[in-house]
Structure 1
């Protein structure tokens, strides 16, 4: 663990600049060490002289301002903390886009394997629903807005697109029309429900972390994205849908299915942009190609036309 003044790399100078911007810490001994796992930002464990807890500090990665509204992310972090399912928030350095949380000692990032356990799945669902049921966030951005934004970014960057880009866009527009025609109930959503954003303790309790992509959005999308990330079986999905909405209907199943395709299209397009701008050591091309393949698989499913009609 390094102390303030010992930075030798660009990312270390970034974290030191953030730590020096916190007035309460300026006269104290402060140490920092990297925390692995992020693909968009630099994450750090920070220990402060005399503090009863360590801190988790998130420093924005280059280019993330293209995707992330830091004020909305902070709003979501506070609302998640209010539910008891989020990490306590210590500070927000708005000018730097840096969030500071109490470090979650005794908690670990979950894996897809953890979600094979019934209790973990349903505890996570309750955490998501508690966040979704919070008052609206300061920003509304639906999955349609997200994909539109990424398409504009791809064009501006002259980033590569798949050979069937026009066909994928046509299916996207058909899905937009189907879902908007029946109306969308907007609620606060994480919009980033990969396994690592669910923290677990030894009692299999769940906390939610990482609200950078949060916005008011359709909760069917929230569930669809989560289901797709976890590779749940149809029976698992039905049980979770029933607990979340109180019942399972053909329309709900259709809306979740269509949103699964949109989720994969959203993140595949995001990956095209990230490949052009990010300095993070991550294979965005491979990730994007895989997401495009999954979107196609859903759109080529024999039930796709039925789902569009039922949604």
Structure 2
């Protein structure tokens, strides 16, 4: 397992960044990072966030050059933090600090939050294209191979649901419009990656970003933020400006795909991360939810609903 970055090590890194070098600063750990350390840096006249990663190990398929380029694009779109410096040699991405409230799952129960989240996501999706693609049907087998090659534990019956996963791929591929339908997606919008400032919503953390089906983004929000299916329908309706039953079904299916694929992310972290976090429980929460969906008697109907016109 890799060791977490120490405060002394971070201070040494920051001395090599012109905006920070030689300046009095205070450091504050920000919660929520499961693949890096997010550090709030306060100086006499500015506040920054440094995303700091271990440059020696990457089992999760994260491309830091893609993260940097897509973070710049997200800021240009109007929903991301300003990118102030990028030092891949140091494993540091330096961002401007965004004032506001970091959301939690229960915040999505407040009036107006789902609509504001949908508006922010739509703004991102209409912004500058990202430099890469993201496809969970490509990421999942790559994660599976990492688990196999490293001997990381996965759920004992994980492969029992391969056909249900493949069925989702078939219907999503058959009903996909074209390459042009892919839009710049964050792909990891758990509640903590929404920053609310008044009526404005920011989206942060572009480690897994890439051009993707917008319904994956919406379905992953449903999956990660604990939304009900009614709230998913509200999210999709707010995003499109009208109710589209097949789009809600598509987002629902993509959310299931996300749960099954991210399970293996948790398995890799469980086997490799030095962070004090129960990654196995995290993985099993998503896995058990995916299995319940695959086994539900309504799953074949969901597949049909994705392909059905409104």
TM-score by length of 1: 0.89
- In structure 2, the CA distance between the partners of 1:305 and 1:54, relative to structure 1 (3 Å rule), is same
Q: Distance in 2 between matches of 1:46 and 1:250?
A: 45
| Structure 1, unaligned runs of 5 or more | 1-8
- In structure 2, the CA distance between the partners of 1:301 and 1:121, relative to structure 1 (3 Å rule), is same
Q: Distance in 2 between matches of 1:271 and 1:148?
A: 14
1:157-306 → structure 2 map (5 Å cutoff): 157-183=150-176, 185-201=181-197, 203-306=198-301
- In structure 2, the CA distance between the partners of 1:281 and 1:154, relative to structure 1 (3 Å rule), is same
Contact 2:15–2:22 (CA under 8 A) maintained in structure 1: no
Q: Residue by residue, what CA displacement relative to the aligned partner does 1:217-236 show, whole Å, maximum 9, x if unpaired?
A: 11111000101222323333
Q: Distance in 2 between matches of 1:121 and 1:231?
A: 12
Aligned-residue offset at 1:10: 4.5
Q: Secondary structure at the match of 1:25?
A: coil
Contact 1:11–1:42 (CA under 8 A) maintained in structure 2: no
Partner residue of 1:56? 49
State which of 60, 78, 81 in structure 1 corresponds to 2:75.
81
Bigger CA drift: 253-262 or 188-197? Answer: 253-262
Count, aligned residues: 299
- In structure 2, the CA distance between the partners of 1:123 and 1:181, relative to structure 1 (3 Å rule), is same
Q: Secondary structure at the match of 1:99?
A: strand
State which of 77, 100, 113 in structure 1 corresponds to 2:106.
113
Bigger CA drift: 163-172 or 278-287? Answer: 163-172
Q: CA RMSD in A?
A: 2.0
| Structure 2, unaligned runs of 5 or more | none
State which of 133, 147, 153 in structure 1 corresponds to 2:126.
133
